[in-house]
Structure 1
Amino acid sequence: MARNEFRKSQGVVPFGVGATVDFENESLMSAGLDVWPSEKAEGAAWLKIMEATQIADGRLARRLSSDLKRKIEFFLSPTEAPELTGFQPQQQPGRVFMPFVRFPNWYFCPRCRILKRIAWNTQSSPNAAELKCSNMGRRVEGKGDPCGSLKISRRPTMSPVRFVVACENGHISDFPWSRWAHQNSDKDCDGGENGSLYLYSTPSAGLAGVVVGCVKCNSNRSMAGAFQKDVLHRIFPSGCPGERPWLGPKGVEECRDKIPQTIQRGASNAYFAKVVSSILIPPYSAQIQQILDRPDIWAEIESLPTVDGSVEPFLRIKAKNLGVDPTLSFKQYESVAPTARWMQKAMSCRRKYVIAMMSTRHMEVLGRQSLSVTISIRREFPSRTIRIGSDNSSRG
């Protein structure tokens, strides 16, 4: 089985939050940062994950908080995925898989052409029954055994449809297959959600040769004209449903002033990430940082009876003995102490911390843009440069 993977840097651009990623026989969407990281851990394991994914940049956070009118405290970076041994990931501290949701939710069988809705959180596996065709009806051409009568290993794997709808405010939804097929029909049919829809091809050229039909009432309609502006206004009379699949089924917000437009899920106008860059330069010398990074120094700091009252004289003595400016040493300690105290508290309480981060998307439909932000950060240190987004692999 081919592994679902891409480079770590692609987790920001072009496969940032809300972007669809095509893997073999499936299409997934990068999940929102409220579910990063995907690994559920506690204590030391959780701190390793946080160390690998969390980035603190106060200047950038203040800038974006002002621009977006929302409080931003820190940022998250895609982490390296665990190495795989066969089909089992090795336990490696700080390495987790990136979380994805399934989008679009409509799939079709390449053999019998039936349309089937698959849940947004259906897991991927080589022989997942949910991703196999279970249609007991005959093929569209009227030949062969039904797919559902075959052994599970021989059943065709469902493929994602290539049409979705999106609005100028960045919302994206499944194409309304049932309502499109029955829009010009006067028949009262509820067959759109129970395995009665088929997506098949005819000899006609272009979109006119792509037809969605209902075998229950014999209604059908080609995809010709589906990409025209406001052609879906009869299907969405109240405007866009405001769906944000990367946040799950509950990530819906009100959006009544736009009519969704049909797009192809992998088209160039489906997703754009707006990248904001920041250079993070530590304000003090590397020698001071080395002092604060020493485990024995932190162990002595943690053993002090009162942190706020005892750290300054302690660091002044240590800095003086090592030939470093005592004043600068204490100032740098103050800049990192809040994080250190938080980590100490997390270790002692063994609590799960939920990361709430600003994650938005940028969608351009028919040349019209709306603002949103995906973050790319570069960290520069005196002795070396570390770019968030290396050539290491991240897997979904």
Structure 2
Amino acid sequence: MTPPRERRRRRADGDSAAPRLALPRRGAVRRAQMITTYGVGALIAVDNESFIVSGIDDAYRSWPLDEAPIIHEHRLARVLGVSHFRLPPASKDTSKDGVRVRRFPLWHSCPRCQSLQHVRGFNPPPGKNVCTVCDDEPLVPSRFVTACEDGHLDDFPYWKWLHRKNREEGSTGHCGGEMGMRFSGQSASLRSILISCTCGVPEASMEGAFRRSALSDLGVRCEGKRPWLKDAPAEFCSQAPRTLQRGSSAVWQPVLKSALSIPPWSDGIADKLVGHWERLRSLSSREKIEIYLMGAFQGDNSISLDAVMALLEAEQAEDSAEEGAADARSENRYQALRRQEYERLCAGNALGDKGRDEQFVCEPPVSDPVVLAPYGVERPMLVKRLREVRALKAFTRIADPESSSEGHEAALSLTPTDWLPAMEVHGEGVFVRLDENRLDDWTRSVAVAARVERMRTHHDRALRERAADPAEVPLSPATPRMVLLHTLAHVLINEWSLEAGYPAAALRERLYTDAGMAGLLVYTATSDSAGSLGGMVTQGEPERLAQVLRSALRRATWCSADPLCVEARSAGANLAACHACVMLPETSCEHNNILLDRALLVGTPEDPRLGFFANMLER
């Protein structure tokens, strides 16, 4: 992280753009990082300091609308139970207050005098983080924190760790001595980090602090602290705390929900109706709605009665589908949202007479897709324009990357809000759909079913091990259809990163693998400049797509880690998949790089017919 320049900033007119409040600034991050990397509850390092991103309870007042505009995505907002979203404010010289952070962890050490104590014990001057005894030597935040699976976070209990064999506490609750931390320099392991106390107890190293039961064995329990929420009371927590590195990805993992803007919600009219929905829903006839629109939108010819009626009908259809479901929980509603996207991607939405505000343009290629028939690929769709909204719903800690389960979701605010932080990205992509008949014939193979069953068994076991309530264990999504499409998306992204010039991190997958769906969307929805290179749509032309498929499949037949990779015996939720062949950057994958198996694409040396595309490799 690089701190910004001097805090005194100038506007274009020469006036000082001072913050609304006299708060010091501590660095800058991109807006996208406030959703995916440094969201609420995450730890962020700025130079030699460490902070935790504050909750959104007061953010609506501190985020000015000109820097943090409102985002509307009607379908996603209804699924998440909010009215709208907010784009986090940009961190730049012209920004005002920005995103609030709080100092964490609070235990620090001085590299010169080797003192280890709460930051207040060093008595630093306001706005600085230095040791006043050592001529303003910069302090080092604790490398270690404790967290539990319910999302709580706390400082590492150094005193209890050091005095675990001598717990005679004085009147102050501790021994009264002064603690210190030094590094022996003998190795780079935890054994070289030594903790001491002037009370005379023997030095203790940090070795063993990361064992799952290390803190529980000391009688340390989770105190239910939520330092990212101002004035949050401690919660009762029955989870065992775990020691984590302050910069570990296990400290914070976002729970993201996203949606594509599709017709009839993608032409911008729905955004103009914000604040009018309740009234429009209450009107019983077309005539009454027309009268209301004439009064509410005088002089605005862009809002037609037919368009409003189409939106209301679409909303009622969504509600009817949810009511007819056996379980209308949020996750089922989210799956219904995906199904709507799949149907629209299959049907297309040609630009034609659509206006400039249309955010979803999806057309079939002009050339004949017969060249793709041998691959079992239906006619692809060229998504020339799309908009995706990604919302930060909550976050988890100590989430097992192998499970893809959200676990316990920690809240972003102390009290419920009617909005969530989100980002919107615009891009283009290619939608690929497999032949349902050929796919069904392939999934009936005993060898295919047995191979996927091994993956599902391991994944289900991982989900059970980390579930707090056995009755709430989610089922593994592993099916032959899902694993095949997921792996195919990965090899296509890797191939397009070579053929089309996109970095793999600038491409993203979106899978449609439930019953009745067999498609994948690879798109360039990224807020970075790499998402605006252009040319992704041309990769979906049948001739070019056939070449890319042929090259990607031949590349998937070999891995530099073979034969270990292809002969994997269920060491995890993956089989023939590793970072040398089909794994992608985490931002590109929907399932944390699990449930992958390139053998289902191309087969194995022992059973080449196992692969869905095996017949094409024989040509």
Calculate the TM-score normalised by the size of structure 1: 0.62
Task: Confirm or deny that 1:156 pairs with 2:137.
Answer: yes
**What letter is aligned with 2:59?**
W
Alignment-derived partner of residue 115 in structure 2: 114
3-state DSSP of counterpart to 1:361:
strand
Seq. identity, %: 26
Task: Confirm or deny that 1:229 pairs with 2:239.
Answer: no
Distance in structure 1 (CA, Å) of the matches to 2:164 and 2:128: 29
* Larger deviation, residues 243-252 vs 104-113: 243-252
Distance in structure 2 (CA, Å) of the matches to 1:171 and 1:280: 35
List per-residue Cα deviations over 1:257-277 (Å, max 9, x = no partner): x21111101123222223211
Alignment-derived partner of residue 36 in structure 1: 59
- Map residues 3-22 of structure 1 onto 2, 5 A cutoff: 3=4, 4-22=27-45
Task: Confirm or deny that 1:250 pairs with 2:232.
Answer: yes
Q: 1:101 and 1:193, CA in 2 relative to 1: closer, same or farther beyond 3 A?
A: farther
3-state DSSP of counterpart to 1:7:
coil
Contact 1:118 1:130 in 2 (8 A): no
Distance in structure 1 (CA, Å) of the matches to 2:183 and 2:57: 41
Contact 2:168 2:175 in 1 (8 A): no
Q: 1:171 and 1:225, CA in 2 relative to 1: closer, same or farther beyond 3 A?
A: same
Contact 1:263 1:270 in 2 (8 A): yes
Contact 2:40 2:54 in 1 (8 A): yes
3-state DSSP of counterpart to 1:233:
helix
Using CA pairs below 8 Å that are at least 6 residues apart, which structure has the higher relative contact order?
1
Alignment-derived partner of residue 364 in structure 1: 398
- Map residues 292-307 of structure 1 onto 2, 5 A cutoff: none
Alignment-derived partner of residue 378 in structure 1: 424
Task: Confirm or deny that 1:197 pairs with 2:243.
Answer: no
The Cα shift of 1:200 comes to: 1.0
List per-residue Cα deviations over 1:331-353 (Å, max 9, x = no partner): 6999xxxxxxxxxxxxxxxxxxx
**What letter is aligned with 2:41?**
G
3-state DSSP of counterpart to 1:8:
coil
Contact 1:315 1:329 in 2 (8 A): no
Contact 1:33 1:358 in 2 (8 A): no
Q: 1:63 and 1:207, CA in 2 relative to 1: closer, same or farther beyond 3 A?
A: same
3-state DSSP of counterpart to 1:254:
coil
Contact 2:43 2:104 in 1 (8 A): yes
Contact 1:362 1:372 in 2 (8 A): yes
Alignment-derived partner of residue 240 in structure 1: 222
**What letter is aligned with 1:183?**
R
Contact 1:198 1:214 in 2 (8 A): yes
Distance in structure 1 (CA, Å) of the matches to 2:41 and 2:50: 12
The Cα shift of 1:19 comes to: 1.3
The Cα shift of 1:174 comes to: 0.7
Alignment-derived partner of residue 102 in structure 1: 103
Distance in structure 1 (CA, Å) of the matches to 2:396 and 2:151: 6
- Map residues 338-353 of structure 1 onto 2, 5 A cutoff: none
**What letter is aligned with 1:221?**
A
Distance in structure 1 (CA, Å) of the matches to 2:398 and 2:249: 9
Contact 2:254 2:392 in 1 (8 A): no
Task: Confirm or deny that 1:267 pairs with 2:248.
Answer: yes
**What letter is aligned with 1:360?**
A
Contact 1:197 1:215 in 2 (8 A): yes
The Cα shift of 1:325 comes to: 7.2
Specify which of 324, 327, 338 is matched with residue 305 of structure 2.
327
3-state DSSP of counterpart to 2:108:
strand
Alignment-derived partner of residue 81 in structure 1: 91
Contact 2:43 2:246 in 1 (8 A): yes
Q: 1:187 and 1:284, CA in 2 relative to 1: closer, same or farther beyond 3 A?
A: closer
Task: Confirm or deny that 1:132 pairs with 2:169.
Answer: no
Kindly report the root-mean-square deviation, in angstroms, between the aligned alpha carbons of the 2 structures: 4.3
Alignment-derived partner of residue 347 in structure 1: none
List per-residue Cα deviations over 1:43-66 (Å, max 9, x = no partner): xxx5545xx3433333212212xx
3-state DSSP of counterpart to 2:57:
helix
* Unaligned 5+ runs, structure 2: 5-26, 275-288, 313-390, 413-420, 428-523, 530-619
Contact 1:261 1:365 in 2 (8 A): no
**What letter is aligned with 2:209?**
A
List per-residue Cα deviations over 1:15-43 (Å, max 9, x = no partner): 11111111101111111122325738xxx
Distance in structure 2 (CA, Å) of the matches to 1:360 and 1:288: 29
Contact 1:202 1:211 in 2 (8 A): yes
Equivalences, count: 304
Distance in structure 1 (CA, Å) of the matches to 2:255 and 2:294: 46
Distance in structure 2 (CA, Å) of the matches to 1:363 and 1:56: 29
Distance in structure 2 (CA, Å) of the matches to 1:285 and 1:207: 54
List per-residue Cα deviations over 1:153-207 (Å, max 9, x = no partner): xx10111111111112222211001111211125435586978111112255421
3-state DSSP of counterpart to 1:178:
helix
Distance in structure 2 (CA, Å) of the matches to 1:292 and 1:62: 15
Distance in structure 2 (CA, Å) of the matches to 1:30 and 1:312: 42
**What letter is aligned with 1:197?**
M
Q: Which has the higher helix share?
A: 2
List per-residue Cα deviations over 1:317-370 (Å, max 9, x = no partner): 746xx6x67524876999xxxxxxxxxxxxxxxxxxxxxx98531112566762
The Cα shift of 1:315 comes to: 6.5
